[in-house]
């Protein structure tokens, strides 16, 4: 239990908190005319130009060293930035994965040449990444990966298929978990991470429409894709450890808490109006707030651990499991609240936003690790496995 | 928090506040001897200003001391006494010796002043009572005490002559807010006790040839239990974030709403995992899960504080919810 016990209230340092002012000034202007049902897409919404503008302002790669084009700031600075972007519903999907985990991964495991090649364009908002983990037969059972990179004289020959790859159709590169030795029976052994240029011959990206009508994830096929030898990132055969460390970044951020916050704010504006205000809705508003506030404190505590160079995997799983539960509670409870009354009084935009969030909500507790996988990880952290 | 202080109180309670003591005091024995030990330890004055003879700690520094009162299901209002003494001293009223219960919900009629269901009303020496514009400090020895729902509580009635002896103190805040803050911290301790006991039980209890903690269904229940316990503990810490001894109502509302919500979930999961033994009188789990239910209700259930919190949020006017979330969750 030691891992969880060490989470304590952590203050965001004032120099990092100060970043909120210019970011908010920018977002107030930028987002003022964007309707709620568009803002509700947040980190699923893509706008390359928006990403580039953030890059120009120095707000991408905030935690990366300046020598690679980053901001040289602490994880707390990035926390403040991301918290603002999410709460305003900014379209951050294009650069999201590259900024959150691909660039830190390349910084940690990459060669000097890889760092110089990949990181500066990420910080400019010109290079977008996706994560190739899931396969048709490797979802929660990630170690069952069958996509294989075989060593050749020129480098690696890649064959196989990835699926549910978020945003692959808008990305330049994929960091894929692939088998470089052994068979699926070898499980965690023999897996490696490779960087795949998605424009190479033999790569086919096929978007998949989700139930909301949006296209955000894809199937990606690799047919004899020839990769150079420096496509390997990190050590051969250490893909599993690398992916596991990456998950602490992937699971603990404020995006596991604020996916429904645009809807909540839109609903709250209605509850603040005279026709919207009922005792039940006021209580519901308090119920949600009472859940979000301590989770934010936990999120910041985990950020503090990352800032100290830790890899708080179990803590991140706990925050994500609880955070996504609130994210899913928001559309469910708001629907119940709004459809208790005569809906003619409810703004159409609010109902539209509710409908969108309701339809995407199932993925909140799937992306980045399904609920039951997270609970298994917590159980391991408790010493039960 | 001063780690040494926390360890010292923890050791004292480990040695002295054992389940048999909790049962004995609940069963009607006098708490005087146990209270004497606590008084001697000096912790009751931890929050009292140094110039008034206390340790001058801030509320945020003593969260873990308050929490320990829940960890050991302490059968006297020690946490309540700590904050009450500090606030009395702050108001210039010399705090009395002895334990102080907190009381809200009063009514005045011909019989005098009536406080219903006072938490620890049966075992405390004094009551700090919320009246419309002030606090009253009254000796419980001068009251008529009637049994109520929980064994440590009492409904207290002071007749006109007893009431004339009341000390009048300017109110720094509503006693209910103070009690909610303290109770949330104690809930955090009791939640962690229930969690640790349940984890231990799952590792020891064998069924189908192995510890039940090896079964995925039990593992997931324990994961969920731990999530609630840790989120609630964080909320309770938030509730105590104040540089003086006066808690902020926004933070307290978050603390009490979240800990009370967790109390229900955690008690249910713990009993589910323990099976029949868990709700026997002789097994210690009940000392803690009964507290979870009692303290969930004390000073307002989760629904009450959710409504209070909702009113604060709705009345703020336009703006991001984030700003209220930040005001509630950023450390003081």
- Please report the ipTM that was assigned to this predicted complex: 0.96
Output the six-digit token pair for A287.
């119920």
Of all residues in chain A, the one with the smallest CA distance to B312 is A286
User: B104 or B227: whose pLDDT is higher?
Assistant: B227
At which residue do the structure tokens 């969690």 appear?
B195
| Structure-derived torsion over alpha carbons of residues B163, B164, B167, B171, reported in degrees to the nearest 10 | 70
Quote the CA–CA distance of B249 and B327 in Å, as a whole number: 11
Q: A28 Cβ partners below 8 Å, 6+ apart? A: A88
Q: What is the per-residue burial (b if ≥16 Cβ within 10 Å, else e) of A298-320?
A: bbbbbbbbbbeeeebbbbbbbbb
Q: How far is A297 from chain B (nearest CA, A)?
A: 6
Domain span holding position B276: 176-329
Asked if the structure places residue A323 within a domain, the reply is: yes
Q: What is the distance between the alpha carbons of residues B48 and B69, in angstroms, rounded to a whole number?
A: 18
| Domain end among A207, A237, A267 | A237
Phi/psi region, residue A309 (left: phi>0; alpha: psi -120 to 50; beta: rest), is: left
pLDDT value of residue A306: 85
CB-CB neighbors (< 8 A) of A322 in chain B = 227, 231
The domain boundary, picked from A178, A211, A237, lies at A237
* B267 contacts B285 by C-beta, under 8 angstroms: no
Contacts of A385 in chain B (CB under 8 A): 219
> What DSSP assignment string belongs to A13-82?
PHHHHTTHHHHHHHHHHHHTTS-HHHHTTGGG---HHHHHHHHHTT-SSTTS-GGGT-----HHHHHHHH
**B275 occurs within a structural domain:** yes
Name the closest residue on chain A to residue B252, using Cα atoms: A290
Find, in chain B, the residue whose alpha carbon is nearest to that of A1: B196
When pLDDT is cut at 50, 70 and 90, the band that residue B108 belongs to is confident
- CB pair distance less than 8 Å for B330 and A283: no
Q: Is A83–B305 a contact, with Cβ atoms under 8 angstroms apart? A: no
Q: What is the CATH number of the domain that holds A199?
A: 2.40.110.10
CA A97, CA A82: separation in Å to the nearest integer? 12
Report the CATH number at residue B280: 1.20.140.10
- For the segment B155-174, what is each residue's pLDDT rounded down to a tens digit? 999 999 999 999 999 999 99
Strands (E), B199-277: 206-207, 210-211
Model confidence pLDDT, tens digit, residues A25-35 = 999 999 999 99
What is the reported pTM? 0.96
What does the alpha-carbon distance between residue B228 and residue A104 come to, in Å, rounded to a whole number? Answer: 31
Residue A83 lies in a domain: yes
Q: Give the mean pLDDT of A232-241.
A: 96
Say whether both A297 and A187 belong to one domain. no
Which residue of B lies nearest to A260 if distances are taken between CA atoms? Answer: B321
DSSP letters for A81-138: HHHHHHHTT---HHHHHIIIIIHHHHHHH--HHHHHHHHHHHHTT---EEEE--BTTB
- Residue whose structure tokens are 């507790």: A365
According to DSSP, the residues that pair with A178 across neighbouring strands are A192
pLDDT at B61: 95
Q: Which two tokens stand for residue A197?
A: 């240029």
Average pLDDT value over all residues in chain A: 95
> H/E element holding A164?
strand A155-166
CB proximity B61 to A under 8 Å:
no
Q: Kindly list the residues from chain B whose CB atom is less than 8 angstroms away from the CB atom of residue A327.
A: none
* Residue B276 touches partner A, C-beta closer than 8 Å: no
Instruction: Count up the domains in chain B and report the number.
Output: 1
A200 and A233 both lie in a single domain:
yes
Q: Which residues contact B4 (CB under 8 A, 6 or more apart)?
A: none
Domain boundary among A83, A102, A127: A127
Q: Is B323 on the interface with A (CB under 8 A)?
A: no
**Chain A residues touching B187 at Cβ < 8 A:** none
Number of domains in chain A: 3
Answer yes or no: are the C-beta atoms of B327 and A7 closer than 8 Å.
Answer: no
Domain assignment of residue B25, yes or no:
no
A8 shares contact with chain B (CB less than 8 Å): yes
Q: Does residue B196 belong to any structural domain of this protein?
A: yes
Q: Which of A18, A293, A84 is nearest to B248 (CA)?
A: A293
A83 → closest Cβ in B224, B234, B322: B322
pLDDT at B2: 66
Asked if the Cβ–Cβ distance from A285 to B314 is below 8 Å, we say yes
Residues A205 and A272 in one domain: no
Q: Which of A297, A298, A379 sits opposite B219 (nearest CB)?
A: A379
The answer to whether position A372 is within a domain reads yes
Show Cβ contacts of residue A315 under 8 Å, excluding neighbours closer than 6 positions: A3, A4, A7, A252, A298, A301, A302, A305
Higher pLDDT, A66 or A369: A66
B310 to chain A: which residues are within 8 Å by CB? 281-287, 289
% of residues, chain B, pLDDT over 90: 95
For A142, the domain range is 130-237
Q: Is A201 on the interface with B (CB under 8 A)?
A: no
Confidence of residue A3 (pLDDT cuts 50, 70, 90): low
Q: What is the pLDDT of residues B36-71, one digit of tens each?
A: 999 999 999 999 999 999 999 999 999 999 999 999
Those of residues 74-93 in A touching chain B at CB distance below 8 A are 83-84, 87-88
* Alpha carbons A122 and A63: distance in angstroms, whole number: 12
Chain B residue with CA closest to A320: the answer is B227
Does residue A250 carry a catalytic annotation? yes
Quickly tell me which residue has 């209890």 as its tokens. B205
Quick one: three-class SS letters along A180-240? CCCCHHHCCCCEEEEEEECCCCCEEEEEEECCCCCEEEEEEEEEEEEEEHHHEECCCCCHH
* Residues B307, A279: C-beta atoms closer than 8 Å: yes
Residue partners of A124: CB distance under 8 A and separation at least 6: A52, A55, A56, A60, A69
Q: CA A212 to CA B319: how far, in whole Å?
A: 28
Q: Is the pLDDT of residue A249 over 70?
A: yes
Residue A91 lies in a domain: yes
**Do A318 and A262 sit in the same domain of this protein?**
yes
Whether chain A has a CB inside 8 Å of the CB on B307: the answer is: yes
User: Among B247, B120, B104, which Cα is nearest to B184's?
Assistant: B247
Identify whether residues A372 and A266 lie together within a single domain.
yes
Is the pLDDT score of A226 beyond 50? yes
Share of chain B above pLDDT 70, in %: 99
Q: Are B306 and A272 within 8 A, CB to CB?
A: no
Q: Give Cα A256 to chain centroid, integer Å.
A: 8
Rg (CA), chain B: 20
- Cα–Cα distance, B72 to B112 (Å, whole number): 36
The per-residue pLDDT for range A188-198, each reduced to its tens digit, is: 999 999 999 99
Give yes or no for B232 touching A (CB within 8 A).
Answer: yes
Minimal-distance CA residue of chain B relative to A24: B320
Question: In this structure, is residue B284 part of a structural domain?
Answer: yes
Is A163 contained in some domain? yes
- Give yes or no for A265 touching B (CB within 8 A): yes
At residue A196, the pLDDT reads: 98
- Phi first, then psi: give them for residue A309, nearest 5 degrees: 85, 10
Domain match, A22 and A101 both: yes
Question: CB contact, 8 Å: B320 with chain A?
Answer: yes
| Record: contact A285-B231, CB cut-off 8 A | no
Q: For residue B316, what is the nearest residue in chain A, using CA coordinates?
A: A272
Rg, Å, chain A Cα set: 21
* Distance from C-alpha of A384 to C-alpha of B5, rounded to nearest angstrom: 32
Is A246 domain-assigned? no
Residues A184 and A114 in one domain: no
Give chain B positions within 8 Å (CB) of A384.
199, 202-203, 213-214, 218-219, 222
Question: Which one of B203, B222, B309 has the shortest CB-CB distance to A286?
Answer: B309
Is pLDDT at A242 greater than 50 in this prediction?
yes
Of A89, A345, A265, the closest CA to residue B318 belongs to A265
- A296/B222 CB distance under 8 A: no
With a cut of 50, say whether residue A1 has pLDDT above it.
no
CB neighbour class for B70 (10 Å; exposed up to 12, middle 13-18, buried from 19): buried
Nearest neighbour of B257 by CB, restricted to A277, A290, A374: A290
- A243 occurs within a structural domain: no
Q: At what angle do helices A261-271 and B302-315 cross, to 10 degrees?
A: 80
Q: Across the interface, which of A283, A293, A318 has its CB nearest the CB of B238?
A: A293
Contact B235 A268 (CB under 8 A): no
In this structure, what DSSP letter does residue B7 have? Answer: H
Contact A297 B234 (CB under 8 A): yes
**If you average pLDDT over every residue of chain B, what do you get?**
96
How big is the CA angle at B93 (ends B92 and B99), to the nearest 5 degrees? Answer: 135
Question: Is residue A189, in this structure, part of any structural domain at all?
Answer: yes
CA distance B205 to chain A (A): 13
Q: What percent of chain A has pLDDT over 70?
A: 98
Structure tokens at A108: 């940690």
Quote the percentage of chain A above a pLDDT of 90.
87
Q: For A222, phi and psi rounded to 5 degrees?
A: -120, 120
Alpha carbon distance, N-terminus to C-terminus of chain B: 14
CATH number for position A324: 1.20.140.10
Residue in the block written with tokens 């992306």: A367
Q: At what angle do helices A75-87 and A261-271 cross, to 10 degrees?
A: 50
Length of chain A: 385
- Nearest CA-CA partner of B12 in B32, B42, B45, B57: B42
A contacts of B242 (beta carbons < 8 Å): none
* CB-nearest partner of B329 from A296, A379, A384: A296
Which tokens is A86 given?
């999410």
Terminal CA-to-CA distance of chain A, rounded, Å? Answer: 13
Report the residue of A76, A290, A378 to disrupt the B interface, i.e. the one with the largest count of B CBs within 10 Å: A290
Rounded-to-integer distance, Cα B266 and Cα B268, Å? 5
- The answer to whether A285 contacts B224, with C-beta atoms less than 8 Å apart, is no
Catalytic-role residue among A246, A250, A266, A315: A250
């Amino acid at each position: 239990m030691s891992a969880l016990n060490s989470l304590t209230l952590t203050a965001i340092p004032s120099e990092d908190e100060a970043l909120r002012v210019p970011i908010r000034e920018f977002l107030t202007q930028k987002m003022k005319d964007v309707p709620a049902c568009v803002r509700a897409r947040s980190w699923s919404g893509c706008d390359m130009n928006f990403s580039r503008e953030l890059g120009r302002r120095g707000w991408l790669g905030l935690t990366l060293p300046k020598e690679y084009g980053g901001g040289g700031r602490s994880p707390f600075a990035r926390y403040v930035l991301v918290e603002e972007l999410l709460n305003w519903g900014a379209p951050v999907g294009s650069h999201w994965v590259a900024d959150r985990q691909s660039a830190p991964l390349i910084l940690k495991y990459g060669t000097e040449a890889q760092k110089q090649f990949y990181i500066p364009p990420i910080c400019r908002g010109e290079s977008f990444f996706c994560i190739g983990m899931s396969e048709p037969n490797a979802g929660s059972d990630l170690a069952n990966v069958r996509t294989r990179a075989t060593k050749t004289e020129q480098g690696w020959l890649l064959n196989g298929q990835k699926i549910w790859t978020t945003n692959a159709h808008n990305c330049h590169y994929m960091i894929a978990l692939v088998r470089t030795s052994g068979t699926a029976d070898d499980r965690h052994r023999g897996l490696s991470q490779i960087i795949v240029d998605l424009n190479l011959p033999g790569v086919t990206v096929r978007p998949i429409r989700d139930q909301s009508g949006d296209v955000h994830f894809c199937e990606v096929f690799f047919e004899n894709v020839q990769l150079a030898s420096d496509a390997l990132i990190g050590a051969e055969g250490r893909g599993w450890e690398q992916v596991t460390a990456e998950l602490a970044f992937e699971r603990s951020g404020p995006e596991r808490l604020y996916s429904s916050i645009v809807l909540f704010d839109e609903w709250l504006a209605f509850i603040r109006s005279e026709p919207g205000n009922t005792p039940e809705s006021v209580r519901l508003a308090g119920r949600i707030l009472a859940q979000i506030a301590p989770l934010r404190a936990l999120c910041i505590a985990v950020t503090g651990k990352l800032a100290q160079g830790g890899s708080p995997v179990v803590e991140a799983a706990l925050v994500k499991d609880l955070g996504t539960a609130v994210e899913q509670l928001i559309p469910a409870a708001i629907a119940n609240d709004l459809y208790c009354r005569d809906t003619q009084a409810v703004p159409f935009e609010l109902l539209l936003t509710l409908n969108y969030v309701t339809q995407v909500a199932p993925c909140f507790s799937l992306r980045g690790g399904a609920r039951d996988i997270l609970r298994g990880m917590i159980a391991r952290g408790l010493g039960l496995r | 928090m001063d780690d040494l202080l926390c360890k010292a109180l923890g050791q004292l309670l480990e040695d002295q506040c054992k389940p048999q003591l909790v049962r004995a005091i609940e069963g009607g024995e006098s708490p005087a001897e146990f209270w004497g030990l606590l008084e001697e330890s000096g912790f009751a004055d931890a929050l009292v200003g140094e110039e008034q003879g206390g340790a001058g700690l801030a509320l945020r520094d003593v969260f873990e001391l308050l929490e320990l009162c829940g960890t050991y299901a302490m059968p006297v209002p020690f946490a309540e006494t700590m904050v009450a003494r500090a606030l009395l001293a702050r108001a210039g009223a010399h705090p009395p010796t002895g334990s102080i219960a907190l009381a809200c919900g009063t009514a005045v009629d011909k019989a005098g002043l009536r406080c219903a269901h006072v938490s620890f009303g049966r075992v405390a020496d004094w009551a700090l009572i919320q009246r419309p514009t002030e606090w009253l400090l009254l000796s419980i020895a001068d009251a008529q005490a009637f049994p109520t729902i929980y064994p440590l509580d009492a409904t207290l009635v002071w007749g006109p002559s007893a009431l004339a002896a009341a000390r009048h103190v300017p109110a720094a805040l509503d006693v209910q807010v103070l009690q909610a803050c303290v109770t949330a911290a104690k809930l955090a301790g009791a939640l962690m006790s229930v969690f640790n006991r349940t984890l231990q039980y799952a590792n020891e209890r064998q069924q189908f040839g192995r510890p039940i903690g090896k079964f995925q269904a039990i593992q997931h229940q324990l994961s969920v239990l731990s999530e609630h316990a840790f989120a609630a503990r964080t909320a309770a810490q938030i509730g105590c974030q104040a540089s003086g001894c006066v808690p902020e109502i926004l933070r307290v509302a978050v603390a009490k709403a979240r800990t009370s919500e967790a109390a229900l979930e955690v008690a249910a999961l713990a009993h589910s995992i323990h099976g029949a033994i868990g709700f026997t009188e002789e097994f210690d789990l009940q000392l803690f899960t009964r507290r979870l239910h009692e303290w969930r209700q004390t000073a307002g259930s989760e629904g009450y504080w959710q409504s209070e919190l909702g009113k604060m949020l709705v009345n703020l006017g336009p703006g991001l919810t984030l700003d209220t979330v930040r005001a509630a969750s950023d450390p003081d």
